[in-house]
Amino acid sequence: MNEAQNKNFVYRVTAIVAEIPSGRVMTYGQIATLAGSPRAARIVGGIAHFGAPDLPWHRVVNKTGGMARGYSFGGPTAQRTLLESEDVTFKNDRVDIDKCLWNPHE
DNA sequence: CGTCTGACGATGC
DNA sequence: GGCATCGCCAGAC
């Protein structure tokens, strides 16, 4: 893990997302920052769609608390239902990041 | 090595 | 608060 974490940006993002517990969500910007590049939020998304299909990307949302453009989970409704199943609170059609934003420092 | 793209973010209107 | 535009960084071609 130590060696791997220093490997590349992609691996860090993968590791972070893999550690997101149920009932908690993270923003792409947050993950990108933890990965070492606070401006590379889009890169996180790119990694999401192509690599690491075993990770709970459905717990990853953008800063608006919504989901990304053209999600592939079967529609935004599926994502919302899935997160609600994990005790994630919702504000209208957006995730209540204010309450469910997970911090790895915990 | 140069260029385009992209599951985003911030700012402006 | 939502929509439009620019900007950023890293990966793929």
Q: What is the pLDDT of residue A63?
A: 93
Residues A61-68 have a mean pLDDT of: 87
Cα–Cα distances in angstroms (integers) from residue A14 to residues A44, A55, A74, A75, A98, in the given order: 9, 7, 22, 23, 23
Q: What is the pLDDT of residue A50?
A: 80
CA A43 / C1′ B6 distance in Å: 7
User: What is the C-alpha to C-alpha distance for residues A35 and A12, in angstroms, rounded to an integer?
Assistant: 5
CA A6 / C1′ B7 distance in Å: 24
With 50 as the cut, is the pLDDT of residue A81 above it?
A: yes
Check: CB of residue A43 under 8 Å from CB of residue A9.
yes
